[in-house]
Amino acid sequence: MQAKVRSAAKELDYEPLQSARALRSGRIEAIGLVVPDITNPFLGAVMHGAQQAAWSAGYAVVLIESGRQAAKRRRAVEALRGGLVSGLLLFGIAPDRGADLAPAILIEVRRRGIPSVIFDSAAGMRAVAAHLTEAGHRRVGYLGLADSRWAFERRYADLQQALADQPSLRLVRTVGAQELTIQAAQAAAVELLRGRGRPTAIVCGDDILAAGLYAAADALGLAVPADLSVIGYAGTIVGDALVPALTTVQAPAEELGARAVELMLAVLDGQDVPETTTVPVWLVKRASVACPG
């Protein structure tokens, strides 16, 4: 029977997977992935991309949720560093200066001296500004997060620069949600939508925030896009489920995770890697943007 299997494999030019060899031998190397919130659908896609890339080299990815508190983050890192993993991938976590994390790859955050992989949010926001200009908008609002997360601060800064490069656009209101939840976004979005001179278009730092904005607009009797155009960021299932369909900056989560693993594997192999690796994004134009009424 074994001879027949070998013969068939030879005819098909079959090559056993690295992961299959590792499972058979009982030796599976592991890479740790630390994320702040496993309930975020975007991070599930990051994990999927990371694991697919890792399996091809015979590695597994160990996922751990750290939360946002510094003490919990340190405990999460320490738990993985105790001989369980060969290296660490840290999503959105800026490690303490001087912390011994090597080898480590940062995802959607930067810290001097540690390799990172980030989205090209500047290009994404330039596409956003161009699309709003083409649609005839003038007054723009931004819905981000109240706390200081590197990725969201960068998206906001890139949007400011992109709007400054479009003379017809003006950022008139900015609000930050207390948490990255639909409920918190809805509560914050009310400030953007009330009163005279409200924006005709609002850019959101995440599709989850855009979902909260939709809810706030509906509660105030505003229709998307007839009364208000909306653009998100991420390109997740959250935006896909909104009605009308959400125009969003597509940030490929699986590719982000895969690139982080590829960098880690290169580091473990003794190769030099760039301090910053950038993953392209693009604008997906859907029905949530229209000419202002």
Q: Is residue 182 part of a domain?
A: yes
Q: How far is Cα 34 from Cα 36, in angstroms, rounded to an integer?
A: 7
- Does 154 share its domain with 245? yes
CA 91 to CA 106: how far, in whole Å? 6
The tokens describing 214, both together, are 């939709």
| Series of mean pLDDT values for 10-residue runs along the chain (293 residues) | 43 43 54 90 95 95 81 71 84 74 90 94 98 98 94 97 96 96 97 92 98 98 97 94 97 98 96 97 98 89
Does residue 100 sit in the same domain as residue 163?
Answer: no
What's residue 6's pLDDT? 43
Q: How far is CA 43 from CA 46, 165, 255, 256, 288, in A?
A: 5, 32, 12, 10, 24
Task: Say if residue 243 is in the same domain as residue 99.
Answer: no
Question: Do residues 106 and 10 both lie within one domain?
Answer: yes
Contact between 192 and 199 (Cβ < 8 Å): yes
**Claim to verify: residue 238 and residue 129 sit in the same structural domain:** yes
d(CA 44, CA 22): 24
Overall domain count for the chain: 2
CATH code of 47's domain? 3.40.50.2300
Tokens 């592991």 found at: 30
Same domain membership, residue 259 and residue 115: yes
Q: What is the four-CA torsion angle of 42, 46, 49, 51, rounded to 10 degrees?
A: -130
Residue 59 belongs to domain spanning: 2-119+254-279
Q: Based on C-alpha coordinates, what's the Rg of the chain? A: 22
| In a domain? residue 284 | no
Alpha carbon of residue 58 to chain centroid? 25
Looking at the fold, whether 53 and 139 belong to one and the same domain comes out as no
User: Does residue 291 form part of some domain?
Assistant: no
**How is residue 224 written in tokens?**
């998307």
In-domain check, residue 145 = yes
Do 146 and 82 fall into the same domain?
A: no
SS3 145: strand
d(CA 247, CA 207): 9
- The three-state (H, E, C) secondary structure of 178-222, written as one string: CCCCHHHHHHHHHHHHCCCCCCCEEEECCHHHHHHHHHHHHHCCC
Residues 259 and 247 in one domain: no
Q: Among 232, 251, 270, identify where a domain stops.
A: 251
Closest CA to 204 of 175, 226, 179, 244: 175
The verdict on whether omega for the bond into residue 225 sits within 30 degrees of 0, i.e. cis, is yes
- Domain co-membership, 99 together with 179: no
- The count of other CB atoms within 10 Å of the CB of residue 108 is 24
Question: SS3 for 123?
Answer: helix
Same domain, 142 and 190: yes
Cβ(131)–Cβ(195) below 8 Å? no
**Within a domain: residue 213?**
yes
Give the SS3 label for residue 127.
helix
User: Residue 134: exposed, middle, or buried by beta-carbon count in 10 A (0-12, 13-18, 19+)?
Assistant: exposed
